[in-house]
A and B are shown apart, each in its own frame.
Chain A
Amino acid sequence: MNTSGTPVSDTPMSGTPMIQMAGVSKTFNRTIHAVRDVDLDVAEGEVVVIVGPSGSGKSTVLRCINLLEVPTTGTVVVDGHTLTNAGTDLDRVRAEVGMVFQQFNLFPHLTVMENITLAQRKVRGRSRAEAQEMGMRQLTRVGIPDKADAFPRQLSGGQQQRVAIARSLAMEPKVMLFDEPTSALDPEMVKEVLDVMLELAGEGMTMVVVTHEMGFAKAAADRLVFIDEGEIVETGLPEEVFSNPSHDRTRAFFAKILY
């Protein structure tokens, strides 16, 4: 593992990490070992980018953080709540952890504003007016306040993904998870989404991002985590891992994706 003297990469001096994964493994159908013994701590305000080959378990690691996948073994602690304990109210913790998906997953039967207000009202118990005000604020932040009354299908992919981000942010989460948020987008729309994410990182949001956008990793990541065959192979500052990977598997991977 990387210990090469990066100020933010290891557990910070003050306070406990926002996310603690310890010995997390996930096995599907008793045979597919998607994630093997992953330890990952993410400090408050830290931006961690996860990269790795297709099928290496990146999504599964991410989905174990908000327990969309239940780990086969290991513990996951988010903001002090141990999600892998039977008694934990998962819904309450999930409200604190936003997730942005590759396929956006907006609710097609609801307008943009309804998409954003639904969980605010049902989970946070906000009034319609409060939720709409917050919704408008988040839509303005992602740059599309004029689309509040549109239906998702009327929007471009980039706009849909920005709505999805606004929908998560409206819950005022403590952590944001991104699973290849730009992979389903046409090239000319990638930037508008990455810009929003960069801004969010700059504001100190705790983020775990699975992406192949190395430009984003360089610009925003405090730490890069390389996963292969379900294991964390290497972790460190993005620049270091790109330019001077300490494992053959990492080198082979970047040789394929970097010019």
Chain B
Amino acid sequence: MSEFRSSRDGRITDERPWWDTFPWWSLIIVGLLAWMGWQIIVSDDYGLAWERIIPGLGLTLRSTIYAFGIALAIALIAGTGQMSRNVIIRNLARTYVEFVRGIPMLPLIFTVALILVPELTNLANTRLDAWFGWEFKLSFEMRATVTLAVIYGAYMAEIFRGGIQSIPPGQIEAGRSLGLNRRQTMRSVVLPQAMRAIIPPMGNDFIAILKDTSLLSVLGALEITQRARQFSASTFKFREGYFVSAFIYLVLTLSLSVLLGVLERRMSRDRKGER
């Protein structure tokens, strides 16, 4: 607790004045975004950059949602897999998580997109071609998206595991001693409680994935960052290009943070009987 001297009567107090607790940063951010938006509206150069970059929004959002969805599925499997009673499943899951988390994203994207996927598709396609006269192709966009999913699947697996393991063992014992089986105890007792620990960091990872879709640009996918690069390189208007892409990312991530905050508050309001 910090103490403040109240100027009025010379007493110390632990009440903080309103200007000390007011979230000024949100005003600054809103002001900054308004100013950036205004630049884009009034300036021809910024306007042009906007027109050239904004078509990448669809791809950015689509990759984010695909990557997050696939990552969620992987995380559920790998997260619960690490707690499996089966020694093989447990160790496979752990290996995946430790392996992927130890490698930076960029080299992993190159490895998957330029080596792993071509080799695997080649392998599959010799058969598919012979049998069905059809070949399997994965676009560079999807290759990078899947890589993102594989990476975030490992991070999110840890969120699942941590959330589930944060539930005191007494809860599981109470469930089992009432005759609930493992699965019922997991579903009705553990997971609902674990969700409170799981949802906020999952939301943060969604935002992180959104930003990391900018890595798709290294494979030439025409998302926001790649379009900004192309615009800047062809017009030499670097400032405008990166200014506009930063603006788009900021609007997206900040509004997602606000949504997430609302969701978290709603979740804690559900516990309004509880202290």
Chain A residues with a Cβ under 8 A of chain B: 66, 68, 91-92, 94-99, 101, 103, 105-109, 111, 118-119, 122-123, 150-154, 164, 167-168, 171
A-B contact count (CB 8 A): 75
Say whether B179 contacts A119, CB under 8 Å. Answer: yes
Which residues of chain B are near A164, meaning CB under 8 Å?
A: 174
Bound CA span A106–B173, Å: 11
Bound CA span A120–B60, Å: 48
B170 lies within 8 A of chain A by Cβ: yes
Identify which of residues 158-206 in chain B touch chain A, using a CB-to-CB cut-off of 8 Å.
Answer: 168, 170-171, 173-181, 184, 188-189, 192-193
Bound CA span A97–B177, Å: 7
Min C-beta distance of A235 to chain B, whole Å? 25
B10 lies within 8 A of chain A by Cβ: no
Bound CA span A167–B174, Å: 10
Contacting B184 at CB < 8 Å: which of A122, A153, A171? Answer: A122
Least CB separation from B272: chain A residue:
A151
Say whether B274 contacts A122, CB under 8 Å. Answer: no
Say whether A107 contacts B171, CB under 8 Å. Answer: yes
Min C-beta distance of B111 to chain A, whole Å? 42
Say whether B177 contacts A94, CB under 8 Å. Answer: yes
- What are 30 sample pairs from A and B whose C-beta atoms fall under 8 A apart? A68-B176, A68-B177, A91-B181, A94-B178, A95-B179, A98-B178, A99-B174, A101-B173, A105-B168, A105-B173, A105-B174, A107-B174, A108-B274, A109-B192, A109-B271, A118-B178, A118-B180, A118-B188, A118-B189, A119-B179, A119-B180, A122-B188, A123-B178, A151-B273, A151-B274, A152-B274, A153-B273, A153-B274, A154-B275, A171-B178
Identify which of residues 218-275 in chain B touch chain A, using a CB-to-CB cut-off of 8 Å.
Answer: 271, 273-275
Bound CA span A153–B272, Å: 10
Least CB separation from A177: chain B residue:
B177
Chain B residues with a Cβ under 8 A of chain A: 168, 170-171, 173-181, 184, 188-189, 192-193, 271, 273-275
Min C-beta distance of A25 to chain B, whole Å? 21
Which residues of chain A are near B170, meaning CB under 8 Å?
A: 101, 103, 105
Min C-beta distance of A81 to chain B, whole Å? 13
Min C-beta distance of A159 to chain B, whole Å? 14
Min C-beta distance of A226 to chain B, whole Å? 25
Bound CA span A118–B274, Å: 19
Bound CA span A59–B171, Å: 17
Which residues of chain A are near B174, meaning CB under 8 Å?
A: 99, 101, 105-107, 164
Say whether B193 contacts A108, CB under 8 Å. Answer: yes
Contacting B271 at CB < 8 Å: which of A66, A92, A151? Answer: A151
Say whether A171 contacts B192, CB under 8 Å. Answer: no
Min C-beta distance of A124 to chain B, whole Å? 8
Bound CA span A164–B176, Å: 14
Say whether A123 contacts B179, CB under 8 Å. Answer: yes
Bound CA span A122–B180, Å: 7
Bound CA span A16–B273, Å: 47
Bound CA span A107–B188, Å: 10
Among A92, A97, A101, A119, max chain B CB count under 10 A is at A119
Which residues of chain A are near B180, meaning CB under 8 Å?
A: 91, 118-119, 122-123
- Given A122-B180, A151-B271, A151-B274, 12 other A-B residues pairs in contact with their CB atoms under 8 A: A91-B176, A94-B178, A95-B178, A96-B179, A99-B177, A105-B171, A107-B171, A108-B193, A118-B180, A152-B274, A168-B178, A171-B179
